[in-house]
Amino acid sequence: MSYKARFLLCLCLFVLETSISIAQSTQAIKFIDYLNYTQLIYQPQPNYSELNFTGRFVPDYPESSFGLSTIFYSIKYDKDDIVIGFAPMPIIKEDKDNLTNQIYPHDMNKNWLVNLKVQADTVNGKIVYLDAEKVIAINADKVVIYQLKMKQVFLGKYTYCKVLLIHKENVSDAQIFYFYNNTSKSLVDRQIKATYGVLKFKS
């Protein structure tokens, strides 16, 4: 068997194993189903394994804020202490006939801005808006990276977090949380770059 043929066979086996792994996980199946509802596509990442955590992660936000985020799926980097959590949220069209909506109108397309205001730690990090090329690459309208305010430790060991927030008008928002600690602090930006496109909007 030629080198090229062996390479193609190994590549096919890797893709097949990844597909089987995702298919066998009930947690992953539920996540993929929910992504269909939010018009998002998940791309499994090499060197990451599924982590058994789902639920609401509330670092230190007011109970009334829209900044409360529910992680539907999470994965851990096999080579270092970095965990990625995914929190997609559909943008539901406002019912203008609803009396509450008439009295307290709210544009759900602005929720990502509320998240930014509530969650971003502008003392220890900058809010970075990605350029048009990167935004278009994942079929989004806005993509922002920011340092998350954290006053509680995630899973007992992750003291820091950066968020990649993606928004598509009238479709959905998604927050991709990159949890890390002092040992992985120097690697997190590299992993954000390496996994860019792990979630993208459907065309």
Q: Point out which residues pair with 50 in neighbouring strands.
A: 75
Instruction: Look at the pTM and tell me if it is higher than 0.75.
Output: yes
Q: pLDDT tens for residues 117-137?
A: 888 999 999 999 999 999 999
Q: How far apart are CA 73 and CA 32, in angstroms?
A: 9
Where is pLDDT greater, at 111 or 74?
74
Helices within 26-178 (DSSP H only): 26-37, 99-103, 111-119, 132-137
- Report the residue count for the chain: 203
Q: How far apart are CA 159 and CA 186, in angstroms?
A: 14
Contact (Cβ atoms closer than 8 angstroms) between residue 166 and residue 174: yes
In one-letter notation, the amino acid at residue 193 is: K
Domain residue ranges in the chain: 3-201
Instruction: State the first-to-last Cα distance of the chain, in angstroms, to the nearest integer.
Output: 39
Q: Across residues 172-177, what is the average pLDDT?
A: 96
Burial class (CB in 10 A: 0-12, 13-18, 19+), 154: buried
Contact (Cβ atoms closer than 8 angstroms) between residue 43 and residue 13: no
Q: Across residues 153-162, what is the average pLDDT?
A: 93
pLDDT at residue 163 tops 80:
yes
* 3-state DSSP assignment of residue 70: strand
Which residue is it, tokens 């992993």? 191
| Paired tokens of 54 | 């789902």
